[in-house]
Structure 1
């Protein structure tokens, strides 16, 4: 089967299912499995200017949203040339990835009858369900079943390791300028890692707040996890707002890989957070996932 993934999380799922060789088209952000952009047509690019700081990104996104302008550009000709049988897309967040309506309209224009699957999880359970659905639609249900079973076993191991321990209040910053409290599955990651989310609601959307509101949350620890950024950028952004953050430890995390992308590596993110919140309860994560800033 020829698979086009227009969502980095879906590309990660395809790779984790052992189907990387079936991918024929991806986005400019797809980086897992490694080297996927070199092997596939890149059919989605960003419409945002390069080199913006967090405040600049926020301003451009707000402006484009207010004017009804897209955040992403779909290369219809490249998608048609890739001739996919299965297209993976989303409607969860118009800022995070190309919306499925744009894809469906493009397919109608192109005269393609490719199967379109929307990958729109809001919780960890829904991420696991998305893994199952992608596997089934790609014709590999057994691989999906085995992958989900392995992920559940790891989640159960973390739950057992943190059971009965005191739960610190954890502030997760999904953006730093302006500050955003997390939504979707991110507060759930904190809970599964043995913490209490100080702000943000499981399954809800991320929300912009003020620094005064953050001060009132009473966080014991802050995790800087800027949406779409890796560890080095998270560390830099944490330092930029360090004096504004609540007192207590501050940790930066590779959010793009382990926090905001709704794929199998969310389990790696939970394990990394558990190691931060409860040292010694679970194995330390490999280098490059989290870093203490304060």
Structure 2
């Protein structure tokens, strides 16, 4: 089967299922399996300029949304040349990835007869269901079963490790300028890691707030800085803004792009890493590069 993945999480799922050789098109953000972006046509790119600060990104995204401009560019000719049998896309967030409606319009215009699977999980359980859905659509349900059993076993190990432990109050931030409280599966990740999320909406969208509102309403034991789309080095750098607002609260920075906001198998890696940050005596340390505990 020829698979075009227009969503980094879906690309990662395909790779984890052992189907990387079936990928015929990916996005500019697809970095798992390693090297996939260098060996496959990139058919989706960002419409935003490079090198922007979080505040600038927020402003430009809002301006483009208000003008009904796309946040991503689809290379229709490259997609036609890839001739996929299965296209993996999403409608969860127009800021995070190309929307399914754009893909459907392109397939119609290019007269491509491909199956389209929209991957739109809102909760942690739905992420696991989405993995099974991709496996089935790609013709590999048995590989999906094996992968899910492995992920569920790892989650159960974390559950046992943090059972009965004190649960610190965790303020997770998906953006710092302006601050955004988390939605979707992020509160559940904190909960599974042995913490108590004190803001955010399970299964809902992330919401903007203000530092004044945070200072008035929240009293966290720890702040998890997980800026959407950014790796660990950028999360550490952006944590300085949080330090200025909450000077007496411990801060943990996390590679959010890989382990928090991408709805794929590595969410379990993220839960394990956060669990160690919250309960270092109960949960083994993750490999380097996933989290940094700031003094």
TM-score (norm 1): 0.99
- After superposition, residues 1-294 of structure 1 pair within 5 angstroms as 1-215=1-215, 216-245=217-246, 247-294=248-295
Partner Cα distance (1:12, 1:259) in 2: 14
Aligned length: 294
What is the DSSP-based 3-state SS (H/G/I as helix, E as strand, rest coil) of the residue aligned with 1:171?
strand
Partner Cα distance (2:25, 2:169) in 1: 41
Partner Cα distance (1:283, 1:19) in 2: 30
Assess, with a 3 A threshold, how the Cα gap between structure 1 residues 246 and 121 changes in structure 2: closer, same or farther.
farther
**4+ long deviations beyond 4 Å:** none
Q: Contact 1:219 / 1:246 at 8 angstroms: preserved in 2?
A: no
Deviation at 1:245, TM superposition (A): 2.5
Deviation at 1:144, TM superposition (A): 0.2
Cα deviation per residue 1:43-82 (whole Å; 9 max; x = unaligned)?
0000111111000000000000011100000000000000
Partner Cα distance (1:199, 1:151) in 2: 26
What is the DSSP-based 3-state SS (H/G/I as helix, E as strand, rest coil) of the residue aligned with 1:31?
coil
Partner Cα distance (1:273, 1:198) in 2: 15
Show structure 1 runs of 5+ residues with no match: none
Partner Cα distance (1:203, 1:93) in 2: 13
Show structure 2 runs of 5+ residues with no match: none
Deviation at 1:241, TM superposition (A): 3.4
Deviation at 1:280, TM superposition (A): 1.8
What is the DSSP-based 3-state SS (H/G/I as helix, E as strand, rest coil) of the residue aligned with 1:241?
helix
Deviation at 1:124, TM superposition (A): 1.0
Cα deviation per residue 1:236-271 (whole Å; 9 max; x = unaligned)?
111233211262211110000000000000000000
Partner Cα distance (1:34, 1:91) in 2: 25
Partner Cα distance (2:225, 2:202) in 1: 18
Partner Cα distance (1:172, 1:30) in 2: 25
Partner Cα distance (1:144, 1:247) in 2: 44
What is the DSSP-based 3-state SS (H/G/I as helix, E as strand, rest coil) of the residue aligned with 1:73?
strand
Partner Cα distance (2:240, 2:288) in 1: 19
Q: Contact 1:239 / 1:293 at 8 angstroms: preserved in 2?
A: no
